[in-house]
Amino acid sequence: KANNLGSKIRDEFPIFKNNEKSVNGQTKPFVYLDSAVSAQKPKHVIQAMVNHLENDYGSVHRGAYGVSIRSSQMYEDTRHKVAKFIDPKINANQVVFTRGTTEALNILAYGISDVYLNENSRIVIPAIEHHANLIPWQQAALRKDCELAYISMLGKKGNQLTLNLSEAEKLITKNTKIVSLAYVGNVIGQINPIEEIIAMAKKVGSLVILDCAQSMSTHEEYLFSLGADAIAFSPHKLYGPSGIGVLAMSEELIEKLPPSTFGGGMISDVTLEESQWISGPAKFEAGTPPITEVCGLGAAIDWVEKKGRKNIHNHSSELAKIFLDGLKNINDIEVFSPESGQETIISFRHKKIHAHDMATILDSENIAMRAGHHCAWPLIRILGVDALIRCSFAAYSDRDDVEIALEAIKNASKKV
């Protein structure tokens, strides 16, 4: 049952009050249903970042003075907190702060191609991945002249799509060196069968990478204990700030992978002829890192743990289910997300109103939903559409959001 988390915590999010709109003399609440692209921020996170900037801000690992020492302490303490949040099996030395999931996956694909791939290797990913977990592997395959094989989907249209596991089993053979996939898909919100895929990969000695951008705020399994060798996520989808990402790797990967960005903070020696890297996460953190954002990430983890990821998941997926049921009563709607009701994302289209027009009509009602290809062109092509509209739920979403959105979608055909 929905625990009504949304209404209880909405006041913690200043964005909602600050974006109420007056339309024809009527106050329209801000209905934010695009949390899959980025989540809004609670005061707890905002205040932590303001406090840091007002009292403690200094560059990290570079100063012998108070604010730098305090910032460095906070930065490294947060690394410990992130490690614990991901899996008690890993330690802080396995956690790299990046600029986002995208940069994390690029670091992995570049480094892994350098160390683990040759022309006989195969990389396996689902065909429906976000571009951030597709293009880096395309580039790796091009660089190494090796094979990139795609796991296709079963079912062609509508809400029947699932990963073709028997095909995955055929593709994941002893030449397979990498299997990389999202835990939760960003377009239709499917929860991928990671345990089955990890088992297939481990059987043939392949590395497994999980793109956890969409799952980190709602799924709390210990991913390294499940068998992942590396995971990536973006704190901005976890009620934290943008501009920072997390890449966690096995001890083997963090030791073996070469850096792909070079500069200050990552060297043990530099001469005019050559340079040596330090070991551990700093090897991948050249330049001044996102310091205040790391502080915000720490606060976001505290906030999410206090609310409970299971709670957030149950609440968001319950709202998604109610929304999905409501969509079924509206003419000309075609739904592309799975039926099972476990997800927090519902993607759909209106057969007579283009997704971009729908998003604009909803915006005129102060409702934010994303329309487009959602950074997954291959999936959009598999679905046989040119764009989808995506409605996604989070901890602060509530029943009013669902009802207002359904009403606006129902009335949209009167506006075109």
Q: Active-site residue numbers? A: 375
Rounded Cα distance, 362 and 254, in Å: 45
Task: Considering the complex, state which of residue 234 and residue 317 has its C-beta at the smaller distance from ligand PMP.
Answer: 234
Instruction: Provide the minimum distance between the beta carbon of 292 and ligand PMP in the complex, in angstroms, as a whole number.
Output: 17
Helix (H) or strand (E) run with residue 64 in it: none
Instruction: Please pick, from the candidates 100, 126, 241, 326, the single residue that binds ligand PMP as defined by CB under 6 A.
Output: 100
Smallest CA-to-CA distance from 36 within 347, 378, 412 is with 347
Contact residue for ligand PMP among 10, 41, 81, 130 (CB under 6 A): 130
Stretch that binds ligand PMP, among 99-107, 294-302, 339-347, 377-385 (CB under 6 A): 99-107
Interaction with ligand PMP in 186-205: which residues (CB under 6 A)? 186
Nearer to ligand PMP, 159 or 214 (CB): 214
CB of 243 to ligand PMP, least distance (A): 9
Neighbours of 20 (CB within 10 A): 11
Q: Running DSSP on this structure, what letter comes out for residue 264?
A: T
Binding mask 225-244 for ligand PMP (x = CB under 6 A): ---------x----------
Tally of CB atoms within 10 A around 337: 28
Task: Name which of residues 358 to 397 contact ligand PMP (CB under 6 A).
Answer: 375
Q: Indicate the DSSP class of residue 204.
A: T
Q: Is 243 exposed, middle or buried (0-12, 13-18, 19+ CB in 10 A)?
A: middle
Radius of gyration from C-alpha coordinates of the chain: 22
Which residue, 185 or 259, has its beta carbon nearer to ligand PMP?
A: 185
Which tokens belong to 123? 């990389």
Distances (CA, A) of 304 to 217, 309, 342: 7, 6, 19
Of 320 and 375, CB closest to ligand PMP: 375
Q: Which is nearer to ligand PMP, 285 or 398 (CB)?
A: 285
Among 21-29, 129-137, 191-199, 363-371, the segment contacting ligand PMP (CB under 6 A): 129-137
Cα dist from 183 to 62, 215, 232, 345, 396, whole Å: 37, 6, 10, 13, 22
Q: Judged by CB under 6 A, does residue 102 bind ligand PMP? A: yes
Compute the distance between CA of residue 246 and CA of residue 86 in angstroms, rounded to an integer. Answer: 10
Shortest reach from residue 294's CB to ligand PMP, in Å: 15
Nearer to ligand PMP, 379 or 406 (CB): 379
Count the helix, strand and coil residues of the chain and give each as a percent rounded to the nearest 5: 45, 20, 35
d(CA 222, CA 300): 18
Return the residues of window 209-228 that contact ligand PMP according to CB under 6 A. Answer: 211, 213-214
Residue 109 sits in the site that holds ligand PMP (CB under 6 A): no
| Of the candidate residues 182, 201, 404, 408, the single one contacting ligand PMP (CB under 6 A) | 182
Pattern 245-274, ligand PMP, x by CB under 6 A: x-----------------------------
Question: 66-86 and 291-307 are packed helices; what angle lies between their axes, rounded to 10 degrees?
Answer: 40
The residues facing 267 across adjacent strands are 277
In whole angstroms, how close is the CB of 155 to ligand PMP at the nearest point? 20
Distance of CA 317 to the CA centre of its chain: 17
SS3 213: coil
* Part in contact with ligand PMP (CB under 6 A); list of ranges 80-88, 125-133, 250-258, 384-392: 125-133
Q: Which amino acid is residue 93, in one-letter code?
A: N
Instruction: Convert residues 132-151 into a mask of x (bound to ligand PMP by CB under 6 A) and - (unbound).
Output: xx------------------
**108 contributes a contact to ligand PMP by CB under 6 A:** no
Q: If you ran DSSP here, which 8-state letter would residue 337 be given?
A: S
Q: What residue ranges bind ligand PMP (CB under 6 A)?
A: 100-102, 130, 132-133, 182, 186, 211, 213-214, 234, 245, 375
